[in-house]
Amino acid sequence: MTASTETLHLQHADHQAHADAHGWRRWLYATNHKDIGTLYLWFSFSMFMLGGTMALGIRAELFQPGLQFWHPEFFNQLTTLHGIIMVFGAIMPAFTGLANWMLPLMLGAPDMAFARMNNWSFWLLPPAAALLVISLFVPGGAPAGGWTLYPPLSIQAGMGMDLAIFAIHLLGLSSIMGSINIVTTVLNMRAPGMTLLKMPMFAWTSLVTAYLLIAVAPVLAGAVTMLLTDRHFGTHFFKAAGGGDPVLFQHIFWFFGHPEVYIMALPAFGIVSQILPTFARKPLFGYVSMVYAVCSIAILSFMVWAHHMFAVGLPATAQLFFMFMTMLIAVPTGVKVFNWIATMWQGEMTFETPMLFAIGFVCLFTVGGFSGLVLSIAPIDIQMTDTYYVVAHFHYVLVAGALFSLFGATYYWLPKWTGQMYNEKLGKLHFWWSMIWFNVTFFPMHFLGLAGMPRRIPDYPLQFTDFNSVASVGAFCFGLGQLLFLYNVINTIRGGAGRAPARPWEGAHTLEWEVASPAPHHTWEMPPDEALVKKGLRAQLLDQDHE
Amino acid sequence: MNVENGVHDAHYFVPAPSRWPIVGSLALFLMALGTAFWINRVPGGNWALLAGTLVLVWMLFGWFGDVIRESQAHSYGLQVDHSFRWGMSWFIFSEVMFFAAFFGALFYTRVISVPELGFFSGTHELLWPGFAADWPAATAPKLDAPYQAMAAVGIPATNTAILLTSGVTLTWAHWGMVENRRTQLKIGLALTVLLGVIFLCLQAYEYHHAWEKMGLTLASGAYGATFYMLTGFHGMHVLVGTIMLATMLVRVLRGHFSTEHHFGFEAAAWYWHFVDVVWLLLFVFVYWL
Ligand code: HEM
Ligand SMILES: [Cu+2]
């Protein structure tokens, strides 16, 4: 390992294609995948803070019945922006950032395939976020019809909606270019000896996620473009008054929207599949079945969209079809959960912070998966759709799923990024704090939904008070706890708990641990030696056949 | 180096820090903000849009200029070439999905929403007096006179022939490239660009005629919306494809490309064939059936 680190420095010295930029140019003109990854991750965290603040605005209002803080219109703007910002600003860019930082390191590539375009993918995000924030200050305010932008509300809304539509165009462009980069990097830049079925699980999930995004981001762009022309250019796509149909929007939106939820889930699966084997000190159980599961989830995700529309009056045959297809997804998802458990089975487990978040993920994502299964049953969903049960469901998969995996990933790779160890005690505190308050916030929402509380309302009948108050207290505590995370990260950058070795986790065998910590600005300028690749593959039991 | 796993350049080309992406972001931001202001009649919007467009053009020249210079300097190895091929293929796939959304809207409207509106006896009182669940319909709400639908014969059929011919001339040009017959390459490429321009002129004429003489506008019910949006986005793609091919023509005239090394040309050709296929679908489903 030391030898390989040294060779790397040698390469670094003898080949310096161009001087690196410094100061602000380093970030604005960046072509280095690590710099761009860092930009993505910080952007994502700031959007998490912004969207989180909006969530707290929602929860403050809902602490007790009656209107306390906001006008109902502004409350609706808060929920809408919270949703859009969390989905497109916090979760998705975080995964792209991780892919940027880690894929070249894990695959043994010198950079992403298209380094310049990579920069553009990132730098389209801040303008999009700016458009969303500006929309708060224009006449009529921000979009208020929910993150799903359903017409007719979205057609009647003020110009904030136009800003949101253009923001979505920019976000879509960013996603498409970022995804083309990821797909090409994975398909074309792997080290010698690393065939597709030998690459790290995170590379597989990034590949499939990127494929999904290239397929559905243009569809969303099409949907909002039709909204735009319906709003301003007299078309009747979604207006029954001209032969169109508002339900058409829902079909197009959810054709994007359901794959989108897997876009936020699959990379999380990949991260967890890296972390669990490391801290269980056992290879990932059922690697190939994991790959097949990811691919079949991706394919099925195109055939279930109307489970979001059981209440709009679809024909019964269509409801049955979408109900059974949805249930079918539980099969590959179950394969994954069982494989994770089998990976831990009889492992020599230790419970460092990344591992805690990964195990937390497995437990809570499964809860979210089960409530999803409940919702997939059409006759039940007709009762539960648009209630707080749905809000509980998707926060189990998005917060305890996507977000927890991101926390785990950050703790896992922070030593590689910064060259320092983070404070383990604080990390564990962050985990337990988040775990407890997350459940305090969102578990009661199941009961609220079952009792009939609709989502997206600023006020509610008295009988819902207790659970709402509990949820609001939980949300504020949860939010506060995230400052621990911020503090821990900044502290690590500033020195943390001491220098990290190249391989801080002895159970980790993927290529990123073969380079020094912090990873030098340029890595794998020459493809890694095939023997080095094979060594890691053997440790992961991915290269038995060549023994 | 390793056959089972593709090619590896000794030094995969990683471009130096570049100003173009951030310039492009600035351009798109100005265009987005400008358009949003403009269509809501906020003063200054049109100027922001104009400024954004100019910056975008500047960026495109700068960025593609860099790419062409790098290509001429032989910075791109075989592995980079493979990356470009993957990248272009996936880009075209994303375009396919963009059109799929609009075709989906067309099929849904024709097969589901318009017939369903006809199921209810009182529909025409609720919608507008002349409502009939037909495709194409002839009336729409708030229109003074009925509109006519666009027939497949005439300009659309001519345009089909033009695009199909352009596919042939382009392939002929490609043979010229591969077999190093530069004159054939130049003539074929120039003919293709010319056919693209003729297509666009005819399309513009067709739009003008439809809008002015046939009363067919964006507001002509679901038919007008799907007609203009599908053919309009296709037309924009023909425009982009023509610009790409014209750029390739200029490069050919300047002596760029070799028999082996001409992916820029091939990418433009792939794009052109994609646009061609979309047109065939349009011709069948929008104009003909
Ligand atoms: C700090 C933790 C969070 C809290 C306390 C929180 C709270 C809430 C609440 C109370 C609602 C429902 C609003 C309503 O229907 O009236 C909501 C909606 C939503 N949240 Fe969160 N949220 C959090 C994090 C996230 C994250 C990380 C995501 C990731 C994608 C997310 C995505 C959404 C979406 C998509 C909606 C639906 C918005 C809509 O109804 O249009 N949330 N959130
Ligand atoms: Cu879904």
> Which position has the token pair 């319906």?
A230
CA dist., res. A173 & res. A349, Å (int): 42
Q: Which of B24, B29, B83 sits opposite A114 (nearest CB)?
A: B83
State the SS3 of A6-45: HHHHHHHHHCCCCCCCCCHHHHHCCCCHHHHHHHHHHHHH
In this complex, how many residue pairs, one in chain A and one in chain B, have their CB atoms less than 8 Å apart?
236
pLDDT at position A503 is 96
What 3 state SS string does chain B have? CCHHHCCCCCCCCCCCCCCHHHHHHHHHHHHHHHHHHHHCCCCCHHHHHHHHHHHHHHHHHHHHHHHHHHHHCCCCCHHHHHHHHHHHHHHHHHHHHHHHHHHHHHHHHHHHHHHHHHHCCCHHHHCCCCCCCCCCCCCCCCCCCCCCCCCCCCHHHHHHHHHHHHHHHHHHHHHHHHCCCHHHHHHHHHHHHHHHHHHHHHHHHHHHHHHHCCCCCCCCHHHHHHHHHHHHHHHHHHHHHHHHHHHHHHHHHCCCCCCCCCHHHHHHHHHHHHHHHHHHHHHHHHHHC
Residue B212 class from Cβ within 10 Å (0-12 exposed, 13-18 middle, 19+ buried)?
A: exposed
Q: Name the minimum distance, in Å, from the CA of B100 to any CA of chain A.
A: 7
Which residues of chain A are under the pLDDT cut of 50? 1-17, 546-547
Contact yes or no for A210/A266 (Cβ under 8 A): no
Hey, is the C-beta of B74 within 8 angstroms of any chain A C-beta?
A: no
Pocket of ligand 1 (CB under 6 A): A 52, 55, 58-59, 79-80, 82-83, 86-87, 90-91, 146-148, 391, 395, 398-399, 403, 441, 455-456, 475, 478-479
Ligand 2 is an ion; residues with CB less than 5 A from it: A 258
Which pairs with CB-CB distance under 8 Å and at least 24 residues apart come from A414-417?
A414/A489, A414/A492, A415/A500, A415/A504, A415/A517, A416/A105, A416/A500, A416/A504, A416/A512, A416/A513, A416/A515, A416/A517, A416/A518, A416/A519, A417/A34, A417/A38, A417/A101, A417/A518, A417/A519
Q: Report the pLDDT averaged over residues B26-42.
A: 97
Only one residue has tokens 């495109």, namely: B60
Binding-face residues of A in 186-205 toward B, CB within 8 A: 187-195
Reported as a single tens digit per residue, the pLDDT across A488-522 is 999 999 998 999 999 999 999 999 999 999 999 99
Structure tokens at A523: 């890595």
Query: Which residue, among A103, A104, A106, has the nearest Cα to A95 in the 3D structure?
Result: A103
Q: Which residue's CA is the closest to the ligand 1 atom numbered 2?
A: A52
Looking from the CA of residue A475, the nearest atom of ligand 1 is: 5
B89 and chain A: CB distance < 8 Å anywhere? no
Look at residue A543 in the predicted model and tell me its pLDDT: 82
User: Strand runs (DSSP E) across A127-282, as ranges?
Assistant: none
Q: Are A110 and A104 in contact (CB under 8 A)?
A: yes
Best CA proximity match to A30, nearest among A101, A131, A93, A94? A101
Residue ID of nearest Cα to ligand 1 atom 33? A83
B14 closest CB neighbour out of A110, A123, A233: A110
User: What value does the mean pLDDT of chain B take?
Assistant: 92
With pLDDT > 70 as the criterion, what percentage of chain A qualifies?
96
Go through A193-231 and write b for each residue having 16 or more CB atoms within 10 A of its CB, e for each that does not: bbeeebbbbbbbbbbbbbbbbbbbbbbbbbbbbbbbbbb
Average pLDDT rounded to a whole number, residues B237-266: 96
User: CB of B87 within 8 Å of any CB in chain A?
Assistant: yes
What are the domain boundaries of chain A? 34-539
Q: Is A512 exposed, middle or buried (0-12, 13-18, 19+ CB in 10 A)?
A: buried
Best residue among A78, A82, A92, A168 to mutate for probing ligand 1, ranked by most atoms within 8 Å of CB: A82
SS3 A540: coil
CB–CB contact B18 A29 (8 Å)? yes
pLDDT of residue A18: 56
The fold of the B78-288 domain, in CATH, is Four Helix Bundle (Hemerythrin (Met), subunit A) (1.20.120)
Q: State the distance from the centre of ligand 1 to the C-alpha of A324, rounded, in angstroms.
A: 27
> What is residue A62's three-state secondary structure?
coil
Confidence (pLDDT) at A13: 38
Q: What is the pTM of this model?
A: 0.94
* Residues 6+ away with beta carbon under 8 Å from A426: A484, A487, A488, A491
Query: Which superfamily does A34-539 belong to?
Result: Cytochrome c oxidase-like, subunit I domain (1.20.210.10)
Q: What is the mean pLDDT of residues B226-230?
A: 96
Q: Which of B93, B98, B113 lies nearest to residue A222, judging by beta carbons?
A: B98
Structure confidence at residue B152 (pLDDT): 86
Write out pLDDT tens, residues B130-184: 777 888 877 777 777 788 888 888 999 999 999 999 999 999 999 999 999 999 9
Q: What is the pLDDT of residue B5?
A: 63
Backbone φ and ψ for A261, nearest 5 degrees, come out as -65, -30
Distance CA(B213)–CA(B231), nearest Å, equals 18
- Model confidence pLDDT, tens digit, residues B7-33: 888 889 999 999 999 999 999 999 999
For B78, residues 6+ apart whose C-beta sits below 8 A from its C-beta are: B7, B9
A293 Cα–ligand 2 center, Å: 17
Sign of dihedral through CA atoms B278, B282, B288, B289?
positive
Q: Which of B236, B225, B228, B157 is nearest to B196 (CA)?
A: B236
Rounded distance between C-alpha atoms, residue A444 and residue A468, angstroms: 8
Return the pLDDT at B147: 85
Residue ID of nearest Cα to ligand 1 atom 43: A55
Q: What does each C-alpha distance from A354 to A45, A400, A412, A438 come to in angstroms? A: 18, 14, 5, 17
- Cβ A499 vs Cβ A420: under 8 Å: yes
CA A422 to chain CA centroid, Å, is 23
In this complex, the residue of A15, A167, A252 whose CB is nearest that of residue B105 is A252
Q: Is A221 on the interface with B (CB under 8 A)?
A: yes
Cis, bond preceding A259 (omega within 30 deg of 0): no
Return the amino acid letter for A527.
Answer: P
Rounded alpha-carbon distances, angstroms, from residue B152 to A80, B110, B289: 44, 18, 9
| pLDDT value, residue B30 | 98
Q: What pLDDT does A288 receive?
A: 96
Q: Where are the alpha helices (DSSP H) in A345-421?
A: 353-376, 378-384, 388-397, 404-418
Chain B residues touching residue A232 (CB < 8 angstroms): 39
Q: Do A248 and B113 touch (CB under 8 A)?
A: yes
Amino acid identity for residue A151 in this structure: P
Please list the active-site residues of A.
Answer: 82, 111, 147, 174-175, 258, 260, 262, 273, 307-308, 333, 336, 455
Are A219 and B101 a contacting pair at CB < 8 A? yes
Give the pLDDT of residue B136: 85
Please report which helix (H) or strand (E) contains residue A159, including its range: none
CB within 8 Å: B2 and A193: yes
Residue of B nearest to A213 (CA): B94
Angle (CA) A378-A380-A382 rounded to 5° is 70
Alpha carbon of B275: minimum distance to chain A alpha carbons (Å): 16
Q: Please identify, by atom number, the ligand 1 atom nearest to the C-alpha of residue A264.
A: 30
Residue B124: predicted pLDDT: 65
pLDDT given for residue A4 in this prediction: 40
- The residues in B 229-268 lying below 8 A from A, measured between CB atoms, are 229
Nearest to A360 by CA among A434, A426, A282: A434
Longest dimension (CA), chain B: 74
Ligand 1 center–CA A80 separation, angstroms: 9
Question: Which tokens in the block code for residue A295?
Answer: 């691919």
Q: Ligand 1 atom 19: the closest Cα is on which residue? A: A83
Q: Which two tokens stand for residue A51?
A: 């969207």
Please tell me the predicted confidence (pLDDT) of residue B146: 81
ipTM of model:
0.95
| pLDDT at B3 (0 to 100) | 39
In whole angstroms, what is the distance from residue A111 CA to residue B11 CA?
11
Residues of B in contact with A257 (CB under 8 A): none
The distance of B98 to chain A (nearest Cα, Å) reads 5
CB neighbourhood size of B117 (10 A): 21
Contact between A184 and B98 using a beta-carbon 8 Å cutoff: no
Q: What is the pLDDT of residue A3?
A: 37
Q: Tell me the two tokens of residue A520.
A: 């030098």
- Rounded CA separation A98/A59 (Å): 30
CA distance B134 to chain A (A): 10
pLDDT digits (tens, 9 = 90+) for B83-136: 999 999 999 999 999 999 999 999 999 999 888 888 876 666 777 777 778 888
